[in-house]
Amino acid sequence: MERSSLPKMLVRGAGRRCPWCGGRGAFFTSWFGKAESCRTCGLRWRRDDVGFELGAAAIAAIIVMGPLVLAMGVVVAITWPEIEVVPMMIVFIAGGLILPMILYPVSYTMWQAIDLMMRPVEPEHFDLDHIEITDAAESADSDPS
């Protein structure tokens, strides 16, 4: 399978899909629970890189803090010169606590897309046991006997 373009992989990641194959659910078994590999293509989310979580945390900071800072700037510009600081801070602090939980899986799949673009995929990055199990299950489902 050939690598897709970065924009296509980022869109897949933003939708919690595997950036490589576009499989639904990708690496997540629940909102916070991750599988070791994509449930569709078998690509491991951790490809021998110790700092993968750091990149995902950076993406989470960008997709959470960026919009919060922009929204804060808009609120300050609209309410200038009489800014209600306490209500504004309550809303933005709550957003800063809730949004990372909502966007947790998205940050991982979007970082996976960027990681796939920076480092080429090798055959050893796939969980071959997963692929064999999936192929066996598919052939058992298609067998009429």
pLDDT score at 94: 92
Q: How far apart are CA 133 and CA 27, in angstroms?
A: 16
Residue 108 pLDDT: 87
The pLDDT value recorded for residue 138 is 47
Please report the pLDDT score of residue 3 as a whole number: 79
Q: What string of pLDDT tens digits covers the 145 residues of the chain?
A: 677 899 999 999 888 889 998 888 678 888 888 888 888 888 887 776 667 778 888 888 888 888 889 999 999 999 999 988 899 899 999 988 998 888 888 888 898 899 888 888 888 888 767 554 444 444 444 444 4
Residue with tokens 């700092």: 51
What does the DSSP 8-state code read for residue 37? Answer: B
pTM of the predicted model, to two decimals? 0.72
Nearest Cα to Cα of residue 24 among 10, 38, 5, 8: 38
Q: Work out the burial of residue 94: count CB atoms within 10 Å of its CB; fewer than 13 is exposed, 13-18 middle, 19 or more buried.
A: exposed
Give the pLDDT confidence score for residue 141 in this predicted structure.
46
pLDDT at 135: 45
Predicted pLDDT of residue 57: 86
Query: Token digits for 85?
Result: 């600081």
pLDDT at 130: 55
